[in-house]
Amino acid sequence: MGATAKIQVNMNQVSKDRINPYIFGHFVEDIRDHMDAMLAYPLSDMDFESNDVTYRGLSGSWRPFTNGKSTVFALEPAATYHSGHSQLVRISSDDEAYAGIRQAISVKKDQQGYALSLYARASVEIKFLQADIVDVATGEVLGSTRIEIESHNWRNYESRIGVSRLCEEAEFRLYVPAEHERWRDHVSTGMLWLDHIALLPSDSIGNVRKEVVDMTLALNAGMMRLAGNYISAYHWQQAIGSVNERPCVINEAWGGWTNKYFGTDEFIQFCHDLQVEPLICVNDGSGTPEEAAEWVEYCNGGSDTPMGKLRAANGHTEPYGVKYWEIGNEVWGPWQVGHCTAEQFADRYVRFAQAMKVVDPEIKLLACGDDKQDWNRILLERAAAHMDYVTLHLYHGYNRFGMNDRTPKEERYKAILSYPEWTRESIRQARELINSDSRYTHLKVAITEYNTMYYPNTIRKGLPNEHTLEAAAANAANLNEFIRNSDLIEIGSFSDLVNGWLGGCIRVGDFYADQFRGKSAGRSENSLTVYGSPTYYVMKMYANRDLSYVVHSHTDSCSFSVNSLVPTAPKLTDLPNLDVVACCNADGNKLTIFMVNRSLEDTETEVHLDYFVTSGTARLFALTGEHADAINDVHHPEAVVINELDVPVVNARAICELKASSVYALEVTR
């Protein structure tokens, strides 16, 4: 062991404020590959809305599948009542060929069969289509189905395609086969129109990957937030009702299309499947108070209200009962739709809050705050009476130290592991403001986005540092600070849940989206592998402990200091190597001590339990790796996971060997 430390727990000092399980919440946003990774659809561009950049007449990811010399492809008006384009395939009978479209996909073994749905119409002589899933490397047909075309008019067709085995390099093909009876060519023959082609594996939960749901269930998240920059130009009524009749809308924040397949109803179902509380952020950028109020009514109104009636017509009779609503996402930022001054936002916030409360007076409202208190001071002065929470977004990166990738690595490491010190200062300032006026003291704080942020957002090369054990240790220490301030902080949302921007504590595939705009092109050859980053295991470790109250503790350990060129930095000298917080459960028979070793050396730690127990065995949950840069990937998805071991308790004392840059929870039961 390179160092020693001592932790003293004081069971006589237990906080009276309960730790809210919502502080272990998560966050979904339609950003880059977040939705694409979370949802179970293997096909992309299912509605034929992308431009025909690669192949003239073919939309987006679709490619021609034909051996006919005269086959014609074109984008044409969509199915009746549907917006955008449909795909035309015109086939010459004289070619005596097969003709249709194909797309590269990855599939897993599915004996019950992928559900295939599509809209189609055809000239009367085309009687059937063939749908195949094929291994492109070997030509092996992994599954197929025949679809009888029953009408010259648009109709919805459904079938299933059983898949015999997993295949990362597969291809979906939909076509008129060469064996089809030929016809005599004239002006109205050989035409096939397609729209809304979707595949879903039989084990998908709603339209979400089963693996994602299972891993998220294990997180015991407490709360799930639907928000982000895209929300400030998002109009919720465009993503309800039949998915095929929802318009395809540009994602104004991040480029590409807004994912119309995950709207309000799907989000609420996702939350119900996970048994978590939903938190919805409304569009205050391009939206109106009336639109926000209608969203509340859609979720919470009875079926006798206009929006409740619409919800019922969409198949959801009972109100959703969404209690938590956020108004404004980073409105203080010039990148945000609806960016304005604090005065303008405060006035706008009040209008939204009043309209939403008329619909449901019982909802809890979160107002967009800033870690710069000038904004919050104006917001609270004008609008505190209309809010329950003020929000903060806390991203911790090199920029606040004046560091970059040329700074010595150990200095950068120490900077990232100082995350809780910055959080502490932000919370101190927010607390000071809230306590400055009796009109504000009812307010709580919600940290609705947080994560490590190593480099400026436009750079992403190689494996992102946000997925390392180092980042997990920083996020764990930050969670400790949330817990220490549980009298004030009631909500947290880790950014993001799946892939997406900085984090994505759940990873799908081995392709990392660029940290710029839109969804980067590229294809993973391990796209079906779903695994957790080290921070996933931190969140799982913390949220699944039996926590109710903070217990006072004192830590003696070696220390470190961080150099920041930023004059507003908090005190960053003599920071303890161990970041520790102790908690007990409501019954008082379980003590949990979270310990983050923020140093780059192993530390033998003596934990004094204040006679909570004098002897026996404690359980130690350990998240460790070979080094601070250890990372999980598709080839080694469990390189960094939680290990459990027994630790003897002798004379009310436990000795824990804490590895460098690692996270621990010592659980003691009496």
360 to 49, 311, 357, 387, 491: CA distances (angstroms):
38, 16, 5, 14, 21
Radius of gyration of the chain, Cα coordinates, nearest whole angstrom: 28
Q: Which two tokens stand for residue 514?
A: 């660029």
Residues in the chain: 670
DSSP label of 426: H
For 164-183, letters b (16+ CB in 10 Å) and e give eeebbebbbbbbbeeebeee
* Neighbour count for residue 312 (Cβ, 10 Å): 17
Q: What is the DSSP string of 519-574?
A: ------SSTT-EEE-HHHHHHHHHHTS---EEEEEEEE--EE------TT----SS
What is the model's pTM? Answer: 0.96
Domain 63-200 and domain 228-387 have a common topology: no
pLDDT at 406: 86
Residue 440, φ and ψ in degrees, nearest 5: -105, -10
For residue 512, the 8-state DSSP code is: P
Contact 623, 617 (CB under 8 A): no
Asked if residue 434 lies in contact with residue 426, where contact means CB atoms within 8 angstroms, the answer is: no
CATH architecture of 228-387: Alpha-Beta Barrel (3.20)
Cβ pair 480, 435 in contact under 8 A? no
Q: What is the CATH number of domain 5-15+548-669?
A: 2.60.40.1180
Chain segment 80-100, per-residue pLDDT in tens: 888 889 999 999 999 999 999
What pLDDT is recorded for position 463? 57
pLDDT score for 150 = 94
Regions of the chain with pLDDT less than 50: 458-459
Instruction: Identify the pLDDT of residue 242.
Output: 95
pLDDT digits (tens, 9 = 90+) for 12-59: 999 999 999 999 999 999 998 899 999 999 999 999 998 888 888 999
* Cα 222 from Cα 598, distance rounded (Å): 27
Sequence-ordered list of residues with C-beta below 8 angstroms from that of 641, at least 6 positions apart, any chain:
532, 537, 623, 632
Instruction: Write the burial class of residue 96 (CB in 10 Å: 0-12 exposed, 13-18 middle, 19+ buried).
Output: exposed
Q: Is 383 helix (H, G, I), strand (E, B) or coil?
A: helix
- Cα(552)–Cα(538) distance, rounded to whole angstroms? 22
C-alpha span between 540 and 544 (Å, rounded):
6
Domain boundaries defined on the chain: 5-15+548-669, 63-200, 228-387
Check: CB of residue 425 under 8 Å from CB of residue 570: yes
Q: What is the DSSP letter of 127?
A: -
Question: Between β-strands 642-650 and 141-148, what pairing exists: parallel, antiparallel or unpaired?
Answer: unpaired
466 vs 513: CA distance, rounded Å: 13
Question: What pLDDT sits at residue 611?
Answer: 93
pLDDT of residue 459: 45
Q: Under CATH, which number does the domain 63-200 receive?
A: 2.60.120.260
